[in-house]
Amino acid sequence: MLTYIVRRLFAAVGLLLVVALITYCIFYQLPLWAGMSVNNLAAEFVGKSQNQQAIQGVIQRFHFDQPFFVQYYDYVKAIIVGDTYSDGTQLVHCSAPCFGYSFRNTEQVWPTLLDRFPVTLSIAIGAAVLWLIVGIAVGVLSAVRKGSVLDRTVMIFCLLGVALPVYFIGPLLWMLDGFPGISYNSFLGDPIGWAQSLWIPWVALAFGYAAIYARMTRAGVLDALNDDYVRTARAKGLGDGRVIFKHALRAAVMPIITMFGMDVGAVLGGAVLVEFTFSLPGLGELAITSLQQSDLPVIMGVTLLAAFFVIIMNLVVDVVYAKFDPRVRLA
């Protein structure tokens, strides 16, 4: 098991390098390949003060004058061991992991990411718990009552959940609650205020996911109820509750574990819509603003971080899956 995890972690590093390479290509090389001059590309980073000295600084900083692979090597090296560079006017040290320096925010990227991450984490955890519990509960209920009024109502809500975007449901909830202030309070400082100020974003984000999970659970449980081992369980004389939860749901929950891991991984990389809707300063909101400002180092940082979460959650899913399904051997 441990060797498996270690090997997977190495593979994850390799995958991240590939993701970094592709992202790097897209943002730093594609413009050049498309005919943009190095000077103009560098000017993108400088911001408002368009003096030649600053542009030269940027060119040096990014090694734009170097071959592409040297640039990429330096970028990765900075992440691992840190970097010291000139921003054109002074020498700056950037300790590992160094994702570079944002000329727009006049800040280093990594501290910015660290600053934003708790917000996204808070949104992700709250929403994930909510959608997992609600989705499974509702799914089981409507599977057991298949065809009933309850089932049909739930399925309509599920359709709505899938169809209605976060930026519709979010403001709707906000309005219904009388426009409360929505801001991020640190969980450690004020847990109650943390939950109170975030419940609307949680519900808004969880609604769509819960809808999908409810449908998956319902389909899975209905499937399992027709399986032979559920018939065996009933033939043993087990009660309905035990048959449904211990036998049918146990099997139906497997694909949900997979999906849950992936979804949480994706949300951790930035709950873009919900953060943007409620102006919550998380990674997703950071990604949007930096895209609007062509703040390439930040975009690179957010992308790599998001990729990291997806890859790690994939690993977690595989390990958890093996724990839950005795037929799977990790090797």
Among 175, 176, 327, 331, binds another protein (CB under 8 A): 327
Among 74, 107, 151, 227, binds another protein (CB under 8 A): 227
151 binds another protein (CB under 8 A): no
Q: Which tokens is 260 given?
A: 């849950």
Q: What are phi and psi of 13, to 5 degrees?
A: -60, -45
231 binds another protein (CB under 8 A): yes
Ramachandran sector of residue 237 (left: φ over 0; alpha: ψ -120 to 50; beta: rest)? left
Closest CA to 275 of 175, 129, 128, 166: 166
- Give the list of residues 6+ apart from residue 42 with CB closer than 8 angstroms, or none: 55, 56, 58, 59, 62, 64
d(CA 67, CA 70): 5
CB of 325 to another protein, least distance (A): 6
147 binds another protein (CB under 8 A): yes
229 binds another protein (CB under 8 A): yes
| Amino acid at site 63 | H
3-state per-residue secondary structure call for 59-109? HHHHCCCCCHHHHHHHHHHHHHHCEEEECCCCEEEECCCCCCEECCCCEEH
The smaller minimum CB distance to another protein, of residues 36 and 155, is found at 155
Q: Are the C-beta atoms of residues 215 and 259 closer than 8 Å to each other?
A: no
Among 90, 176, 228, 331, binds another protein (CB under 8 A): 228
SS3 226: coil
DSSP 139-201: HHHHHHTTTSHHHHHHHHHHHHHHHS-HHHHHHHHHHHTT--------TTT-HHHHHHHHHHH
The smaller minimum CB distance to another protein, of residues 93 and 152, is found at 152
189 binds another protein (CB under 8 A): no
d(CA 34, CA 226): 57
DSSP 200-214: HHHHHHHHHHHHHHH
The smaller minimum CB distance to another protein, of residues 152 and 231, is found at 231
Among 19, 27, 223, 234, binds another protein (CB under 8 A): 234
Q: Are the C-beta atoms of residues 123 and 275 closer than 8 Å to each other?
A: yes
Q: Which stretch binds another protein (CB under 8 A): 38-46, 167-175, 269-277, 322-330?
A: 322-330
148 binds another protein (CB under 8 A): no
241 binds another protein (CB under 8 A): no
236 binds another protein (CB under 8 A): yes
325 binds another protein (CB under 8 A): yes
116 binds another protein (CB under 8 A): no
CB of 250 to another protein, least distance (A): 6
Q: Which stretch binds another protein (CB under 8 A): 20-28, 52-60, 117-125, 227-235?
A: 227-235
Contacts with another protein: how many residues (CB under 8 A)?
Answer: 21
CB of 8 to another protein, least distance (A): 23
Binding mask 250-289 toward another protein (x if CB under 8 A, else -) reads xx--------------------------------------
Q: Which stretch binds another protein (CB under 8 A): 6-14, 36-44, 124-132, 244-252?
A: 244-252
The residues that touch another protein, with contacts defined as CB under 8 A, are: 147, 227-229, 231-239, 242, 247, 250-251, 324-327
